[in-house]
Amino acid sequence: MSPVTRNRVAGLVLAAVIAIIDQVVKYIVVGPLRLREVGHIDLLPFFDFTFTPNYGISLGLFTATSMEMRWILVVVTGLIAAAVMVWMLRERRFGDIAPLALILGGALGNIRDRFVLGYVIDYADLHIGSFRPFLIFNIADAAITIGVVLLLLRSLFIRDKPEDATSKPENAAEIP
């Protein structure tokens, strides 16, 4: 297996692992912990579980208020996930593939919720006293956010070096 193929397979595996972990934790939260019924579980002074059905997408935007809207969100987020997967499979280096795999895995976890339940299960409640710097989220949301931040950081701070450092583009001007 070539290194590029290995990187792409590793990206697909990472996406699957993120989606599976997300679904397992959601199962534990609503199953054995019964968070849907109890609503809230105090864990740490700065972190709790709070059951929140999210009928929208990022930051609760585009809330699905009807069955039609639900399926439109499933289709749109599915198309976005497919585009991310195509992008991921076109990349060659794992550093470029990994952030896309995080986004894809998170998207798959949330798409499954919306497809099966009609909403996404959010439960992670990070806070400092009564101050909540984040909305209630889940592992899929965290993976998507981390993936997007990594993509932005890579695009802003990491410059690819040319294959041959001694060669320069034909239209490059000479610097004295």
DSSP characters over 41-78: EEEETTEEEEEEEE-SSGGG-S---SHHHHHHHHHHHH
Residue 135 burial (10 A CB sphere; 0-12, 13-18, 19+): middle
Catalytic site residue from 113, 122, 160, 164: 122
At a CB cut-off of 8 Å and minimum separation 6, what does 161 contact?
none
Verify whether residue 96 is a known catalytic residue.
no
Q: What SS3 class is residue 89?
A: helix
Catalytic site residue from 22, 113, 125, 141: 141
Verify whether residue 113 is a known catalytic residue.
no
Burial 55-84 (b: 16+ CB within 10 A, else e): bebeeeeeebeeeeebeebbeebeeebeeb
Residue pair 110/140 in contact (Cβ under 8 Å)? The answer is yes
Q: List residues with catalytic annotation.
A: 122, 141
